[in-house]
Amino acid sequence: MSPALDERDRIRAAMDRILNGAAEHSSGALTIVALAQEAEVPRNALTQRHLDLKNEFYERVKERGATPDAEARLRATIVKLKKTIGNKNEELDQLRADVPALVRTVNQLTLENQQLRERLDQPAVNVVPLARRRT
């Protein structure tokens, strides 16, 4: 038997084991990586040499109605990322709303600081002028 035929037979047998939940050499995940491990072939055997078997595997997984593990992980990650984006958008909106008030406060404090510095620069006066009387 040629190496390519032997490889194809091992891949088909590995497909059957994974789809029947009887994986021997892999985690049994519905992924090409697990299929390659189960068939004890390099992953590129499925991604480069035997594309038809890779496609057949995905079709059989789809027919079973099972979601491949990689897709399920990606979907969960997408949900988590959307939630994170929503939280970050709320936080950003709050920060944007706070900026004008903070700018006003900084301006007021800068003005008060400038007035205090001007008072310090003036010489100390011991005589306090009295208001003039109006007659």
pLDDT of res. 126: 74
DSSP 21-69: T--SSS---SSHHHHHHHHTS-HHIIIII-HHHHHHHHHHHHHHTPPPH
Q: What is the largest CA-CA distance in the chain?
A: 128
Higher-pLDDT residue of 92, 129: 92
What pTM did the predictor assign?
Answer: 0.50
The contacts of residue 54 (CB under 8 Å, 6+ apart) are: 32, 35, 46, 47
pLDDT of res. 68: 67
> What share of residues in the chain are helix, strand, coil (percent, to 5)?
75, 0, 25
pLDDT of res. 104: 97
pLDDT digit string, tens, across residues 35-86: 999 999 999 988 898 999 999 998 888 888 766 677 778 889 999 999 999 9
Q: What is the 3-state secondary structure (H, E, C) of 64-94?
A: HCCCCHHHHHHHHHHHHHHHHHHHHHHHHHH
pLDDT digit string, tens, across residues 9-25: 999 999 999 888 888 88
Residue 124 has pLDDT above 80, yes or no: no
Residue 91 has pLDDT above 90, yes or no: yes
